[in-house]
């Protein structure tokens, strides 16, 4: 770059402004010399001296008019040529043009106006440049990666293109340490816009999430950069290889041989990327049991298939809201959502039924943006692997919730030496998942294998969704056993204890089993006048129960009275009245009231 000193040595400024006469100060070469000065500071000093001399010569008005014309012409040529280049010391991207701006280590400035109206605009007091454009392959939206020099080092931040396009948006860069205020915001917007428009900033295809993108799997494809929320950057970076595959494989084989629970954990983890390929819904596999059986280490084993199994990395805390779980699901997309200690959020929910149904729908809710408009609705295809000290569903849970969960009670330990295994998994992880994806058969072959397992499981009298989840797990285990572990795959006899029957799933059946027990436990209330509940007909196996008493008992035990009544009526375990209603108006022991008539009870009168 030519400096003012270089021009002075060449004799370009070999004149004294105070010795110029009226004709000389208005000559073209004077203005050429002014705008040949590369330093805006030196340029302003010379203009000041010439303006003072023009005033003494009484040609100030003419001088300023000519100065404005030359300055306008100079600015236009600079804009067209992008003549100025960024002069930062060792920037991440070199040779960038910046138009009329002067970008040096001491800041980014531009001189506007002329004469006494000259102004010095400061876009930023420290170096900052755009170094990369990130174009999202799903939305076609663009983000900008900025690099800025603060605290003796270059730092990077990736932001929406719209954020640096407005004064109100760009001030948010101050949260990252960029020195921008409401006063300088307009100029920083202008500077960054000029640099982007004057240069061919490198373009990179990007994605905001993990999982399948067409026929590629992020991040293993290596082509797509991450442009999502910074809060997920740690999770994105957790999906990687670390340590030695042979060390992990030896331990995984040992754990598979030790417990069927470990084989189910690994199979569920491998199954997650198959959910979308098989065209099935997300499902939950819940491992529960008392403390000390090694459930947390088991989750680490499942997580180590894909990446770092530490808490806060691939193993997520369930101390979160439903919205938080949704955001994590959208980000993981096709990778398993592995969550430890479900009971820590028990106080957030009356029961987990609604959460189960919501997560297994695989579609988020539309929400408004703080700045207006509607957020894009997210979707996901995760297999959920949870742990807890108790079942995730209750006896009163709806059939929809029961259907979508594979409940695995851990009646024995998963590991012998939990501390040793945990440390080994922390040091060796992330190999198996990539290898599993590399050897997947075609989608047609996957679906054919799935249908084979599904047909056999359905012969056991289970439901479609229970068979769906377990079939996906068995497909994943079959492939992983052959291609990754080189050992024996799961057999039907091993998994069938964890597949619920249709009657186990059906809430009306479970509710009727409950009401039979409830009647048996409270026989005294049907025999005496004290706290009278109804009457038994031992000969015909009928039980007349006060509607208010039954409704209250069902509510207290988690059953929906109205929903259950309809299903009971369909299966004839209650009898409708002559008008087809559930409630009978009847006089028992001189009391006329509303009763429900339970049938098909096996009543044995004690003598």
What six digits make up the tokens of 66? 């000519």
* Residue 326 near residue 373 (C-beta atoms within 8 A): no
What number of other Cβ atoms are within 10 A of residue 350's Cβ? Answer: 9
Residue with tokens 């993990």: 210
What is the per-residue pLDDT for 300? 97
Cα-flanking dihedrals φ and ψ of residue 512, to 5°? -70, -35
Residue 11: what pLDDT?
52
Token pair of 126, please? 């420290």
pLDDT in tens, 246-259: 999 999 999 999 99
Q: Packing angle between helix 418-427 and helix 295-304, nearest 10 degrees?
A: 20
- Of residues 114 and 57, more confidently modeled: 57
pLDDT confidence band for 1 (50 / 70 / 90): very low
Instruction: Sort strands 203-207 and 128-136 into parallel, antiparallel or unpaired.
Output: parallel
pLDDT in tens, 36-94: 776 666 777 888 888 998 999 999 989 888 888 887 676 666 555 556 889 899 999 99
| Mean of all residue pLDDT scores within the chain | 87
Question: pLDDT value at position 376?
Answer: 72
pLDDT digits (tens, 9 = 90+) for 341-369: 887 766 566 678 888 999 999 998 765 55
Q: Which of 284, 274, 283, 316 is nearest to 299 (CA)?
A: 316
239 CB-near residues (< 8 Å, 6+ apart): 210, 219, 306, 307, 314, 335, 430
- Lowest mean pLDDT, pick from 115-119, 451-455, 486-490: 115-119
| CA end-to-end distance (rounded Å), the chain | 112
Instruction: Return the pLDDT at 2.
Output: 47
pLDDT at 241 over 90: yes
| CA gap 371, 314 in Å, rounded | 32
Question: 124 by DSSP, 3-state: which?
Answer: strand
Q: How far apart are CA 13 and CA 37, in angstroms?
A: 10
């Amino acid at each position: 770059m030519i400096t003012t000193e270089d021009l002075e040595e060449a004799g370009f400024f070999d004149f004294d402004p105070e010795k110029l006469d009226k004709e000389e100060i208005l000559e073209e070469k004077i203005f050429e010399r002014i705008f040949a000065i590369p330093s805006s500071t030196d340029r302003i000093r010379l203009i000041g001296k010439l303006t003072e001399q023009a005033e003494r010569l009484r040609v100030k008005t003419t001088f300023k008019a000519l100065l404005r014309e030359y300055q306008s012409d100079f600015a236009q040529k600079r804009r067209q040529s992008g003549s100025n280049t960024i002069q930062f010391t060792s920037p991440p991207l070199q040779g960038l043009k910046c138009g009329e701006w002067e970008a040096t280590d001491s800041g980014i400035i531009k001189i506007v106006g002329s004469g006494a109206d000259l102004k010095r605009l400061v876009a930023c007091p420290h170096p900052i440049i755009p170094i990369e454009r990130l174009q999202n392959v799903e939305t076609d939206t663009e983000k900008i990666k900025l690099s800025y020099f603060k605290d003796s080092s270059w730092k990077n931040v990736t932001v929406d293109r719209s954020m640096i396009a407005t004064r109100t948006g760009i001030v948010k860069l101050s949260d990252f340490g960029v020195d921008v205020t409401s006063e300088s915001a307009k100029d920083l917007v202008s500077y960054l816009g000029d640099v982007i428009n004057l240069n061919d900033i490198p373009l990179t295809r990007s994605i905001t999430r993990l999982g399948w993108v067409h026929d590629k799997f992020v991040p293993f494809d290596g082509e797509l950069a991450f442009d999502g929320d910074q809060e997920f950057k740690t999770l994105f970076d957790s999906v990687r290889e670390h340590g030695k595959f042979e060390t992990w494989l030896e331990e995984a084989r040992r754990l598979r041989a030790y417990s069927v629970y470990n084989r189910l954990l690994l199979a569920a983890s491998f199954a997650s990327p198959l959910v979308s390929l098989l065209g099935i819904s997300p499902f939950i596999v819940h491992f529960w049991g008392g403390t000390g059986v090694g459930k947390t280490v088991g989750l680490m084993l499942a997580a180590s298939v894909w990446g770092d199994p530490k808490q806060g990395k691939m193993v997520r805390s369930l101390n979160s809201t439903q919205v938080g779980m949704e955001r994590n699901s959208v980000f993981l997309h096709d990778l398993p959502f592995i969550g430890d200690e479900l009971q820590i959020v028990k106080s957030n929910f009356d029961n987990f039924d609604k959460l189960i149904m919501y997560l297994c729908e695989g579609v988020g809710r539309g929400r408004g943006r703080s700045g207006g408009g509607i957020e894009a609705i997210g979707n996901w295809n995760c297999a959920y692997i949870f742990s807890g000290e108790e079942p995730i569903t209750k006896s009163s849970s709806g059939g929809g919730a029961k259907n979508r969960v594979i409940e695995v009670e851990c009646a024995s330990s998963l590991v012998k030496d939990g501390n040793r295994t945990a440390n080994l998994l922390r040091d060796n992880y992330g190999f198996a998942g990539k290898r599993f994806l590399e050897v997947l058969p075609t989608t047609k072959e996957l679906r054919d294998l799935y249908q084979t397992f599904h047909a056999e499981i359905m012969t056991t009298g289970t439901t479609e969704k229970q068979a769906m989840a377990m079939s996906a797990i068995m497909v994943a285990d079959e492939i992983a056993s052959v291609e990754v572990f080189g050992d024996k795959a799961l057999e039907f006899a091993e998994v069938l204890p964890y597949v619920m029957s249709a009657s186990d799933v059906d809430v009306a059946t479970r509710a009727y089993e409950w009401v039979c027990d409830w009647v048996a436990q409270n026989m005294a209330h049907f025999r005496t006048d004290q706290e009278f509940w109804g009457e038994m007909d031992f000969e015909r196996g009928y039980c007349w129960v006060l509607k208010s008493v039954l409704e209250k008992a069902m509510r207290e035990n988690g059953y929906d009275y109205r929903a259950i009544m309809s299903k009971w009526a369909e299966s004839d375990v209650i009898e409708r009245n002559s008008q087809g209603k559930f409630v009978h108006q009847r006089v028992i022991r001189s009391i006329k009231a509303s009763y429900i008539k339970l049938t098909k009870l096996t009543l044995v009168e004690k003598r």
